[in-house]
Structure 1
């Protein structure tokens, strides 16, 4: 929405949009030539790939992950995206780690309360932050290098990638755990998302992950804002092939005009 408003300020304006994981519709528009695309493949210096684990939810896995981080005096994000049961999750973690200082953060808190919690966590007054996806973007806390995502099968692929990116922002090895209740109980699409986040764990893999997301979800509706990938209903693939051919013809015409003018 903000991007569209900026474009309306001046018709001839050039805009550059930066994203770690372009949504399928935007990516597909780039692939067919509607938008130009540049890819930054070089990661920041002195960074390591985030060790990524896809695990069935188990107290032993959670305990080992948290203990490893606490032993090196680091901090942990524990993402649980249900406000209704987030207090219970905090109590369960307190049972496993009675001496750990545990904070809770979610979007239904008062703004001042949430801000105080986040500042306290930044100042290392908490060891573990049990939180919703409110931490998905905009946070850079160097001492947090383990993230555990509960019910990871319920998240979109770009969300999983953004959440994993909250750790590993220094030269310290980081760990990401994506937990699911039972492999048989999750959908085939969810399995593909989890397999993808595991497969593309190297630095600078956002574009590859976005391509896989496009493959899993479909391109969506180019003419609207829907991102559910209902391509078959509107004949989107045929439309894109025709669009690609039309763009090619227009570019050839423009190149021909430029040659004549010279």
Structure 2
């Protein structure tokens, strides 16, 4: 923000810098015209020239690409509606033991969400559910209980997260939460050595790894699963549509 004096009047402006150090000052009363840029993590956006035509060409290209993606999604969801999924079994004794080991008291919202998700999982129709909650709501525990249910039926679980830090945090949580149960947890991120990543990939293909948490690395072509049956996307708003649907289309 900068304060400028124009015709003797002092006003605050938002300063936008374009390619070539061109500057545009936006009055604070027009800040609603400025939108947050959303792009790939760790990749700096390319600046355009002020008044140039390149940005307009990019928007036209993106609009056409979005239309193609929308057409593909319509086709994908139509096919999904027509297909039968895997109906998971009712809760086992081990499921109840796992849930009883939770060291905290569940909230009413948690219990309701868990019940609804399990009900969906036990249907023959493929599940596609969005879980929304504030920080501290306990969404991770809800996801882990659903994941445990899937693993009790012999299915593998993929837990997709947007950052390596979050992947490491979830990995540690899973190791602690699944301790004492026959669950093998894997991690795929840049925090792992090439040897560790290769071992995890082999474990997913052979079925020795039950649940894996990772970043976009999970979407790589060399990552194959023996029997993937449940996908969790954490902070899904930080992934592109093509990223999320790629895993659902190719693997499940």
TM-score by length of 2: 0.46
Structure possessing the higher relative contact order (Cα contacts under 8 Å, 6 or more residues apart): 1
TM-score by length of 1: 0.45
